[in-house]
Amino acid sequence: MPSNIAPRRHHYIPRMILRNFTNEKGGLHFWRRTFPVGKVRVTTPENLFLKTDLYTIVGDEGERDVSMEHGFSKLESAGAAFLRQLLGIVRVGKTPRMADEAWEFLHHFRYYSDKRSAAWHSRFVSEQELDAVLAEVASQERWSDADRAWMDDPADVDRIKQNARIAAQASGPPEELLVEMRRKGLAVYMAPRNAAFVLGDHPTAMAKVGSVAKDAPGGKISFMPIASDVAIGYCSQAKTIHLEQITRAQLRTMNEAMARQSVMIAGRSQALVASLSRVNYETPEYFTTSEYLSG
């Protein structure tokens, strides 16, 4: 396949994770905030948590650079193998062992999973902030009136804004953030029998649950559901793996935290998604920081 060809429907929650939440028929129950409360629909992983050309950079002449989507596809392939192995071990009650390379992959996987989400695109950097940056750039003396002409074309301005957002996804984690991540261990949260996590349009949420919360900033742990029965997060002891069986009350707290910050939620249970549709939206403060990446 030529390197400049890629699907235009880009999943910001990878399908390899979505498939871990499907019901017995392979479907996912979902609800958007544009739907009436309790009005849950069902579809397949191929149709959820995606946006057309989310990672496509469009040039001045309409040329399309899809290298970002190819890069994320490679990350997802490695991530699928990593998560499949992790799930196979923890589901039988064993504690995995991870080599240094696996820890390093985990840190980068978590970083890009959060940063690539639609919630990050739309809420981490506001339109006003982008407008201010563009105005500052355009005001610099080295630009001629002809160079600034694009600012009078709304379509061109939108294209440049979108390209700026996409380009930001390519930058790796800052070294100081990686240093902080490397000081952490892995927390694995196991849902009670016949209970499940839900997914939101941002893959990570924060909640005051679990034994590792006492050592976390503000008493909140960050968690990322990777299957209907398993979520992962960080704990305070470097390169240790902590398995925790959570209660139904703790799971409900985590699911409500995910629903509260989400415009769309999805899961394997229609009743669960319907009940969470009653949770009011609230933009969390950590959407404007990197707290959820290292908490």
Q: What is the pLDDT of residues 248-280, one digit of tens each?
A: 999 999 999 999 999 999 999 999 999 999 999
Question: Does 124 fall in a domain?
Answer: no
Say whether pLDDT at 7 is over 90: no
List the single range of 113-122, 170-179, 249-258 with lowest mean pLDDT.
113-122
pTM of the predicted model, to two decimals?
A: 0.83
Average pLDDT, the chain: 85
Q: Sign of the CA dihedral 252, 253, 256, 262?
A: negative
More confident residue, 223 or 165: 223
Percent of the chain with pLDDT over 70: 82
Query: Would residue 221 count as lying in a domain?
Result: yes
Question: At 14, is the secondary structure helix, strand, or coil?
Answer: coil
In the predicted model, what is the mean pLDDT of residues 12-31? 96
Is residue 150 included in any domain, yes or no?
no
Structure tokens at 212: 């590792």
90 pLDDT band, cuts 50/70/90, is: very high
Number of domains, the chain: 1
- Whether 229 is covered by a domain: the verdict is yes
Q: Where does the pLDDT of residue 283 fall: very low under 50, low under 70, confident under 90, or very high at 90 and above? A: confident
> Does pLDDT of 2 surpass 50?
no
List the domain range (segments joined by +) for residue 67: 9-119+174-294
How many other β-carbons are positioned within 10 Å of the β-carbon of residue 129? 10
pLDDT given at position 244: 95
Q: What is the mean pLDDT of residues 77-106?
A: 96
Q: What pLDDT digit, counting tens, does each position of 232-245 carry?
A: 999 988 999 999 99
Specify if 162 maps to a domain.
no
- Examine residue 161 and state whether it is found in any structural domain, yes or no: no
Over 70: is that where the pLDDT of 3 sits?
A: no
- On the question of pLDDT at 31 being above 90, the answer is yes
At residue 23, does pLDDT exceed 70? yes
Q: What is the mean pLDDT of residues 61-78?
A: 82
Q: Residue 252 domain-assigned? A: yes
| Region 98-110 average pLDDT | 95
Which residues partner with 188 through β-bridges? Answer: 232, 243
Judge whether 43 lies within some domain. yes
Over 90: is that where the pLDDT of 215 sits? no
